[in-house]
Amino acid sequence: MSQLYAFTLGPFADMVSSPVFLVEVIVGGIAAGLMYSLVALGFVLIFKASGVFNFAQGVMVLFAALTLVGLIERGLPVVLALVLTMGVMVALAFAIERIMLRPLVNQEYIILFMATIGLNFFLEGFGEMVWGANVKKLDVGIPDTSFMVAGVQVNKLEMTAAVTAAVLVTVLAVFFQKTRIGRALRAVADDHEAALSIGIPLKTIWVVVWAVAGLVAIAAGIMWGAKSGVQFSLSLIALKALPVLILGGFTSVPGAIVGGLLIGVGEKVGEVYWGPLVGGAIENWFAYVLALSFLLFRPQGLFGEKIIERV
Amino acid sequence: MTDGARRPLLEVRNISVAFGAVQALSDVSLDVARGEIVAIIGPNGAGKTTLLNVISGFYHPYQGHILFDGKDRTDLRPYEVASLGVARTFQNVALFKGMSVLDNIMTGRLLKMRGSFLLDALWWGPAMKQEMEHREFVERIIDFLEIQAIRKTPAGRLPYGLQKRVELARALAAEPTLLLLDEPMAGMNVEEKEDMCRFILDGHGEFGTTIALIEHDMSVVMDISDRVVALDYGRKIAEGTPDAVRTDPAVIDAYLGVAHA
Amino acid sequence: MIYREAGQFKTTYASDQAIFPIVQDRVFVALALACAFAVPLAATEYWLQAILIPFLIYALAALGLNILTGYAGQLSLGTGGFMAVGAYSAFKLTTAFPEASIILVFLASGVMAAAVGLIFGIPSLRIKGFYLAVATLASQFFLIWLFNKVAWFVNYAPSGTITAPDRRVLGVIVTGPNSTAGARYLMALGFVVVFALIAKNLVRGRVGRSWMAIRDRDIAAEIIGVRPLRTKLLAFGISSFYCGVAGTELVFLFLGSAETLAFDINQSFLVLFMIVIGGLGSILGSFLGAAFIVLTPIFLTNVPHIVGLKMSVALLKQIELMIFGALIIFFLIVEPHGLARLWQITKEKLRLWPFPH
């Protein structure tokens, strides 16, 4: 009986008894969630514009961060390193389009998905080979300190990430809805062949999209890298972006934010209040189970488009 | 022909279907008597395929009923409808591209196969015997539709006309009581259409199947159907013998048009 | 020409649908099997331990995943988790019932994995494609967490690992520290041959056709009469059974002892790579893919040595990753049906050789 209480009502009692702590946990969750959203943004971009589910997005984040840190370590000033990294990601986009996307242009999406899994492993090995496998410290001039707001501890770095994410999302949302290129991108996502047949330059579009996703990956890489150091586990964090996408829908830019927040807060709250009851480390699977439960009721996510099947 | 005393095989009563704001079908009713061939005609977007999908159980109407052999079948799932003896072909050929023609047609026999999983795993005794029996039946259909030469070809590699024929074979393999054909002649030339007509009529004669088909080619409709139903914007606008419907002013307005001298 | 098929007419449907319709194929396979069983007499310990045994084990896992993803079209990234279920169940069963036949323990562990697979397969009715892949990640991460956290699974061993004890079949020790590589090899071989045969029988008959129908066009399949939930669950169940037994073999016949790291997400990817490279929807492909993935690291560690290049272990691992990744992309572009299709094309060309067509 007391077990049952401990599991269901106990954590809620804990929450109520120290509300300041609860707020801090939630704020921490929001911050973590926004970092997930940054990664998810890259996914959404590519999926929205090319229909490809880029499993390698996480590794692109890692790769971007590795390149940046590697260049800084070799003595380049931060700004130059940043510019060069952007160049590298654009070049990567070109290469991906030429070598991987173009030959597979008419294949089913599941084949493209598996190709991105291959890309994932290739970039992982390549990044490690070029830049080395040890953990690197990334210093971008934002201190990882906290300050107090209304009695609640808030982390400067996490705030910066939050603001960055918010800005990026707004810019991208406007871009997709209002501009001509945005419309072309949405057409491509719907149907490659049809888009080709009305003259949309598929190759250019794809390079643009993957390059932008690469730049978003740099932003995400900087944030994550500054927080926890640049290392292999960064790409695992990116796997976490998948549940974010499920909650928010694969094609929605604001959905990536909302999904990220839900996952981030859900995870943190779950870990802090329920984690100790089952031995901790719930964060390993909580996000996925949350996403799974969600899928059962709303297979298209919160913001995704309802799929109407035709025969 | 229609026997007044017996119930129609299929009764569609006041079916209405909507997708969001789009009203696909409004208050459509029709009957199909046992052994009849009914043609459903109308312009694109009239709701013809939607009607077949409702009968198949793939869409569920928000209003109305479907009665099959006198019993209400409106809310059944597609495979339950199939097990009642309804088979169909699809507007955009829905063959299983990864399987050979033979395997595709054999999937039509799935409902007739009683399997013991264990014996299946051993490919022995009753499982093998059953597989061979079904194979024999399928070979009859293959002979009947003259597709022996392509039985091992992967379905994805066939030209369009042959794919349509294989789809018909798959539907016939189920020994259906009701056969729903969605534009079986689409994209065929005159000879292919003649062949398909022959197959459909022969199938109807040999297996006694009731048939409802969607078709755009009016000469085919005139030739093979007993009755015709015309749809436009989700509503039934005419019903009757082929000649009656062909000369119906509403149908001419909506769909057939008039020859200009 | 390697051999002529002319003159071999199949006069019954049964012979037409046989697994090896051509006489020469039957002879070849019989010989190959005989040799396979005789291998322990001639092979070195290294070959058995490092190459053949893992090959057979992964071939079994690849068969399992191929059934689920290649034949039934349900993309799964949870293979590692199901293998873990098999291994940990077997460990618990055999330590609790040391007298029980180890063969039965292996089979029971497969059944446990199948049960878990069925539970995690239920969402597949509503969820398809990439969404399902993400959902299978839920099973993967959850199961690994479970085996890490609950000490009961490792019989409260402080090291957190499970270890295969000595067990006998017909008086010969086949698992555990005192078993010989030859004995373990024969166990693995026996299991994989039987299960490959069963898989082949399933996929060429009614069950396989309903799987492929769901894979190719699930809506049309349902309209024709395929029951989607039943068919998908059957695929999940059988696939998990195979993966579970493979997981058990991984610990009992290969590693000797293991912790959850042996079953992590990388294992899931590895098996997925095997079936993509080997050929989705092909029994032979499962074997070819497993062989390829098992041999590549061996090749990579030995070749530079032979050629005279010196490379660090880390560098080799990185090159391995790059080669795997590049090969996946390569195969998907060039031959989405994998090595199995390449083999088929080769055979067709050999029929005509030396004529071009």
What's the average model confidence in pLDDT over A178-197?
75
Question: Does residue A284 form part of some domain?
Answer: yes
Asked if residue A311 lies in contact with residue C220, where contact means CB atoms within 8 angstroms, the answer is yes
**CB-based contact B19 A308, cutoff 8 Å:** yes
Q: Where are the beta strands (DSSP E) in C122-197?
A: 162-163, 167-169, 172-175
Asked if residue C60 lies in contact with residue C218, where contact means CB atoms within 8 angstroms, the answer is no
Contacts of B96 in chain A (CB under 8 A): none
Number of H helices, E strands in chain A: 14, 2
**CB-based contact A292 C144, cutoff 8 Å:** no
Residue B90 at interface with chain A, using a CB cutoff of 8 Å: yes
What's the average model confidence in pLDDT over A285-298?
82
What is the spatial distance between Cα A292 and Cα C134, in angstroms, rounded to a whole number? Answer: 8
Structure tokens belonging to residue A306: 């309802």
Residue B123 at interface with chain A, using a CB cutoff of 8 Å: no
What is the spatial distance between Cα C326 and Cα A119, in angstroms, rounded to a whole number? Answer: 7
* ipTM of this predicted structure: 0.87
pTM score above 0.80? yes
Instruction: Count how many residues are written for chain A.
Output: 311
pLDDT at A74: 82
Contacts of A108 in chain B (CB under 8 A): none
Average pLDDT of chain C is 87
> Does residue B3 have a pLDDT over 60?
no
pLDDT band at B120 (very low <50, low <70, confident <90, very high): low
| Model confidence pLDDT, tens digit, residues C18-71 | 777 777 778 878 888 888 888 877 778 888 888 899 999 999 999 999 999 999
pLDDT at B2: 47
pLDDT at A139: 66
CATH number for the domain including A208?
1.10.3470
Higher pLDDT, A19 or B217: B217
Neighbour-count burial of B154, counting CB atoms closer than 10 A to its CB (0-12 exposed, 13-18 middle, 19+ buried): middle
| Model confidence pLDDT, tens digit, residues B198-221 | 999 988 888 789 999 999 888 899
**CB-based contact B90 A311, cutoff 8 Å:** yes
Strand ranges of the sheet holding B10-19, from the earlier edge strand across to the other edge: B22-32, B10-19, B63-68, B71-72
**CB-based contact C206 B115, cutoff 8 Å:** yes
pLDDT band at B253 (very low <50, low <70, confident <90, very high): confident
What's the average model confidence in pLDDT over C234-238?
94
Give me the domain span that covers residue A283. 2-297
pLDDT band at C81 (very low <50, low <70, confident <90, very high): very high
Contacts of C221 in chain B (CB under 8 A): 96, 107
**CB-based contact B58 A311, cutoff 8 Å:** yes
pLDDT at B1: 46
pLDDT band at A178 (very low <50, low <70, confident <90, very high): confident
What is the spatial distance between Cα A113 and Cα A118, in angstroms, rounded to a whole number? Answer: 9
| Model confidence pLDDT, tens digit, residues A114-148 | 888 889 889 888 888 888 767 677 766 666 666 66
Interstrand relation of B227-232 and B235-240 (parallel, antiparallel or unpaired): antiparallel
Percent of chain A predicted with pLDDT > 70 = 85
| Model confidence pLDDT, tens digit, residues A103-115 | 887 777 777 888 8
Asked if residue B137 lies in contact with residue B144, where contact means CB atoms within 8 angstroms, the answer is no
Contacts of A308 in chain B (CB under 8 A): 19
The distance of B36 to chain A (nearest Cα, Å) reads 25
**CB-based contact B58 C215, cutoff 8 Å:** no
Radius of gyration of chain B from its Cα atoms, rounded to whole angstroms = 19
What is the spatial distance between Cα A1 and Cα A4, in angstroms, rounded to a whole number? Answer: 5
What is the spatial distance between Cα C37 and Cα C56, in angstroms, rounded to a whole number? Answer: 12
Domain ranges of chain C: 21-262
Residue with tokens 């940054």: A38
**A and C: number of Cβ contacts within 8 A:** 129
pLDDT at C323: 86
Measured CA to CA in angstroms, residue C293 lies from A248, C96, C289, C300, C314 at distances of: 36, 35, 6, 11, 18
What is the spatial distance between Cα B245 and Cα B68, in angstroms, rounded to a whole number? Answer: 25
pLDDT at B4: 46
**CB-based contact A311 B19, cutoff 8 Å:** no
pLDDT at C283: 93
pLDDT at A301: 66
Specify the 3-state DSSP secondary structure of A53.
coil
Residue A100 at interface with chain C, using a CB cutoff of 8 Å: yes
What is the spatial distance between Cα A267 and Cα A26, in angstroms, rounded to a whole number? Answer: 10
Among residues C136, C39, C157, the alpha carbon closest in space to that of C82 is found at C136
What's the average model confidence in pLDDT over B158-185?
92
pLDDT at C88: 94
pLDDT at B138: 93
**CB-based contact C209 B99, cutoff 8 Å:** yes
Asked if residue B83 lies in contact with residue B113, where contact means CB atoms within 8 angstroms, the answer is no
Question: Does residue A309 form part of some domain?
Answer: no
What is the spatial distance between Cα C143 and Cα C141, in angstroms, rounded to a whole number? Answer: 6
Specify the 3-state DSSP secondary structure of A14.
helix
Domains and CATH numbers, chain B: 1-85+176-261 (3.40.50.300), 97-175 (no CATH)
Higher pLDDT, C297 or B143: B143
Which chains reach chain A with 3 or more Cβ–Cβ distances below 8 angstroms? B, C
**CB-based contact A128 C272, cutoff 8 Å:** no
What is the spatial distance between Cα B49 and Cα A311, in angstroms, rounded to a whole number? Answer: 9
Specify the 3-state DSSP secondary structure of C167.
strand
Asked if residue A104 lies in contact with residue C333, where contact means CB atoms within 8 angstroms, the answer is yes
**CB-based contact A311 B53, cutoff 8 Å:** yes
| Model confidence pLDDT, tens digit, residues C246-255 | 999 999 999 9
Which chains reach chain B with 3 or more Cβ–Cβ distances below 8 angstroms? A, C
Among residues C207, C205, C200, the alpha carbon closest in space to that of C237 is found at C207
- Across the interface, of C202, C220, C281, the residue whose CB is closest to B120 is C202
Radius of gyration of chain C from its Cα atoms, rounded to whole angstroms = 21
Structure tokens belonging to residue B54: 């409702």
pLDDT at A109: 73
Average pLDDT of chain A is 79
Asked if residue C243 lies in contact with residue C57, where contact means CB atoms within 8 angstroms, the answer is no
Among residues C175, C171, C172, the alpha carbon closest in space to that of C253 is found at C175
What's the average model confidence in pLDDT over A161-170?
76
| Model confidence pLDDT, tens digit, residues C276-325 | 889 888 999 999 999 998 988 888 777 776 776 667 777 878 888 888 88
pLDDT band at C198 (very low <50, low <70, confident <90, very high): very high
What's the average model confidence in pLDDT over C99-124?
92
pLDDT band at B15 (very low <50, low <70, confident <90, very high): very high
> Does residue C166 have a pLDDT over 80?
yes
Contacts of B110 in chain C (CB under 8 A): 206, 209-210, 213, 224-226
Structure tokens belonging to residue B114: 């009683």
